[in-house]
């Protein structure tokens, strides 16, 4: 199994470099493609006026800007990402839209100093941690009593033919993929995706109460208080 530190290093290299630059170039197209899932995520998150929110792996701000509008001037969003180019694009878009209640930070939410949040959200940003359980535990420690966490991530690549077919077609002509991209599906990862049970296990082992994921890849938690959970399953929405 790949070393978690090596996975994190590979991810930083990818997202600060070519991965981040490509995403910035294609941001508008990607946001439109993922809009049905992002909209479901935002509906489930139901950010309220005045809330403090952490957006994990915010990228160019696909979810951040809508959440910033929802929490309003009395609320605040901490938008964390490891990709400088993507954060810069998010900040540029926020300024263009007159949104000023977002703190854009180049930081890893798995280890960064975090505040107390009412809501933690992620639009496909929780799939890359070297040690997912430790990362979820750290984020949970930054959740206020009764806070919610809602995220979306992909299920295994074998259940995503839109990803698998082109990857299989080109893999014979490309160098081997980095370990972080090709590890087994025992972790949340872009290559392996996540089985609902694995997401549930990571969230539950991190101490989240009632990580309830009915065939889906999203969760919510209420630390120390038990409570409701929700989920969004990008693979099942269009069936």
Ligand X SMILES: C[S@@+](CC[C@H](N)C(=O)[O-])C[C@H]1O[C@@H](n2cnc3c(N)ncnc32)[C@H](O)[C@@H]1O
How far is it, in rounded angstroms, from Cα 41 to Cα 121?
8
Q: Exactly one of 59, 193, 230, 234 binds ligand X (CB under 6 A); which one?
A: 59
Please give the Cα distance from 189 to 180 (Å, whole number): 8
- Answer yes or no whether residue 58 interacts with ligand X by CB under 6 A: yes
Stretch that binds ligand X, among 119-127, 175-183, 211-219, 231-239 (CB under 6 A): 119-127
Task: Rule CB under 6 A: choose which of 42, 83, 99, 218 binds ligand X.
Answer: 83
Q: In this chain, which of 66, 108, 118, 198 binds ligand X, going by CB under 6 A? A: 108
Q: Where in 66-191 does DSSP place strands (E)?
A: 76-81, 102-106, 117-123, 143-152
Q: Does 189 bind ligand X (CB under 6 A)?
A: no
For ligand X, what does the binding mask look like between residues 17 and 56, x meaning CB under 6 A? ----------------------------------------
Nearer to ligand X, 63 or 231 (CB): 63
> In the set 10, 57, 199, 200, which binds ligand X (CB under 6 A)?
57
80 binds ligand X (CB under 6 A): yes
Across 134-156, b (16+ Cβ under 10 Å) vs e yields bbbbbbbebbeeebbbbbbbbbb
Considering beta carbons, is residue 46 or 145 the nearer one to ligand X?
Answer: 46
**3-class DSSP assignment, residue 123:** strand
**Tokens linked to 25:** 């170039």
Member of 81, 118, 198, 233 binding ligand X (CB under 6 A): 81
Region class of 42: left (phi > 0), else alpha (psi between -120 and 50), else beta: alpha
The interface with ligand X within residues 158-187 (CB under 6 A) comprises none
By the rule CB under 6 A, 104 interacts with ligand X = no
> Are 203 and 220 in contact, with CB atoms under 8 Å apart?
no
What's the closest the beta carbon of residue 23 comes to ligand X, in angstroms? 6
Quote the CA–CA distance of 55 and 150 in Å, as a whole number. 10
Q: Which two tokens stand for residue 42?
A: 């935002």
What is the radius of gyration, based on Cα positions, of the chain? 17
Q: Which residues bind ligand X (CB under 6 A)?
A: 11, 15, 57-60, 62-63, 80-83, 86, 108-110, 123-125, 128-129
């Amino acid at each position: 199994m790949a070393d978690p530190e090596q996975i994190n290093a590979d991810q930083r290299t990818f997202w600060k470099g070519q991965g981040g630059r490509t995403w910035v170039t294609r941001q508008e197209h990607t946001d439109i493609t993922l809009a049905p899932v992002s909209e479901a995520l935002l509906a489930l998150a139901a950010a309220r006026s005045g809330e403090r929110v952490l957006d994990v792996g915010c990228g160019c701000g696909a979810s951040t800007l809508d959440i910033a509008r929802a929490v309003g001037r009395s609320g605040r969003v901490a938008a964390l990402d490891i990709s400088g180019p993507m954060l810069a694009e998010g900040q540029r878009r926020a300024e263009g839209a007159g949104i000023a209640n977002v703190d854009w930070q180049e930081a890893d939410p798995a280890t960064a100093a975090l505040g107390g949040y009412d809501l933690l959200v992620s639009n496909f940003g929780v799939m890359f941690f070297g040690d997912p359980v430790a990362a979820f535990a750290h984020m949970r420690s930054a959740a206020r009593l009764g806070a919610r966490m809602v995220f979306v991530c992909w299920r295994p690549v074998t259940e995503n033919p839109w990803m698998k077919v082109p990857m299989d077609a080109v893999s014979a002509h490309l160098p081997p993929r980095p370990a972080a991209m090709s590890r087994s599906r025992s972790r949340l990862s872009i290559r392996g995706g996540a089985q609902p049970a694995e997401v549930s296990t990571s969230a539950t082992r991190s101490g989240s109460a009632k990580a309830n994921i009915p065939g889906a890849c999203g969760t919510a938690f209420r630390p120390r208080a038990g409570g409701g959970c929700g989920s969004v399953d990008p693979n099942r929405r269009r069936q």
